[in-house]
Amino acid sequence: MANLGIPKNSIAVLQKYEFVFQKKFGQNFLIDPHVLEKIIRASGVTKEDFVLEIGPGIGTMTQYLAEAAREVCAVEIDRNLIPILEETLADYDNVTVINEDILKVDVAKLAEEKNGGRPIKVVANLPYYITTPIIMGLFESHVPLESITVMVQKEVADRMQTGPGSKDYGALSLAVQYYAEPYVAAHVPPNCFIPRPKVGSSVIRLTRHKKPPVEVKDEALLFRLIRAAFNQRRKTLQNSLANAGALPFAKEEIARALEAMELPPSVRGEALSLEQFAKLSDLLAGEQK
Ligand code: SAM
């Protein structure tokens, strides 16, 4: 089968099957060999690796992954793409396609069966409508994971890799950085896709930390604090946390904790680093009844 990274080959396949793009599945297919090579390079995939690809589309990146990896499992929700994938991936005996919603796949089981429970690499040009649930789902579940290399909306990549003081900094930055080290490998303009998306995209690699960069007494509390801190961005941290229904702390308890950290009462969540959220979480954990 011809290399689908070459636009005319992709177009020929789409025409042959009279493929109709489904907006609801976030279908924007890559048609740029340089970008495809960059993604594979950024992912660091080698012949030792088992790779999970989310949303193979017509199999463009899957072809590149099949060449680079030991084995690839591609999960595609759109059943209209399955007969196409059978043809475009026919030359590869190291690829399995599963017709399923990735959010319903037991990835830990897959890693166990296909990779003996060793950490897997995830590579994907993600459907943008479910980027965050997919990434956070992988981190929060107990999937043995080495890295996730994904194409996402540029704005989302910016949010994932930024720190305190930036307008893009928020709950997603902290959650991602608790689990992984982000690295933006490329910016990709709309004309590298068919059809063209309305927004710019970035390739980001998230390398999972062996151990989180901060240790806390209560991980669930840390995440509840982070979520509450950014729920009402314009409020002070003190007010956001005191007014959060999901948290049991009185304003005075929060004020005491901030004082112990030498932070002013007017401080906002966006000024705190992950280390400071961890410290606050441990101070407040002592106040929990
Ligand atoms: N990998 C292909 C490429 O780079 O050309 C296609 C990328 S396209 C942005 C996203 C793909 O994910 C589409 O093929 C879409 O049908 C698929 N998809 C969307 N939602 C999905 C889900 N919940 N589970 C699995 N695949 C999904």
Q: What is the pLDDT of residues 210-259, one digit of tens each?
A: 999 999 999 999 999 999 999 887 899 999 999 988 899 999 999 999 99
Whole-Å CA distances, 9 to 40, 89, 160, 168: 20, 14, 34, 38
Query: Residues, the chain, total?
Result: 289
User: Strand, helix or coil at 102?
Assistant: helix
Tell me what pLDDT residue 246 has: 81
pTM: 0.94
Q: Pick the residue whose CA is nearest to atom 22 on ligand 1.
A: 101
Cα 219-258-140 angle, rounded to 5 deg: 15
Atom of ligand 1 nearest to the CA of 22: 16
- Phi, psi at 204, each rounded to 5°: -125, 135
Ligand 1 in reach of 137 Cβ (< 6 A) = no
End-to-end CA distance of the chain: 64
CA distances in angstroms from 15 to 31, 124, 259, listed in the order given: 15, 24, 65
| Predicted local distance difference test score (pLDDT) of residue 289 | 54
Q: Where is 114: in which H helix or E strand?
A: helix 107-115
Q: Is 101 in the pocket of ligand 1 (CB under 6 A)?
A: yes
Q: Which value, to the nearest 10 degrees, does the dihedral of the CA atoms of residues 124, 108, 177, 68 take?
A: -40
Range list of β-strands (E), the chain: 29-30, 50-54, 71-76, 95-99, 120-125, 145-153, 180-188, 193-194, 201-208
Q: What pLDDT sits at residue 233?
A: 77
**Residue with CA nearest ligand 1 atom 20:** 25
Closest CA to 147 of 168, 106, 176: 176
Beta-carbon contacts of residue 130 (< 8 Å; ≥ 6 apart) = 26, 103
What is residue 65's predicted lDDT score, i.e. its pLDDT? 98
pLDDT attached to residue 256: 96
Give pLDDT, residue 66.
Answer: 98
Q: From ligand 1's centre to the CA of 142, what distance in Å?
A: 23
- Among 43, 54, 203, the mutation site with the greatest number of ligand 1 atoms within 8 A of its Cβ is 54
Q: Is the CB of 125 under 6 A from ligand 1?
A: yes
Under-70 pLDDT residues of the chain: 287-289
Say what the pLDDT of residue 142 is.
Answer: 79
Q: Is the CB of 54 under 6 A from ligand 1?
A: yes
Q: Can you give the pLDDT at residue 286?
A: 80
pLDDT score at 171: 94
Q: Which secondary structure element, helix H or strand E, spans residue 39, and what is its range? A: helix 33-43
By the 8 A CB rule, do 144 and 118 touch? yes
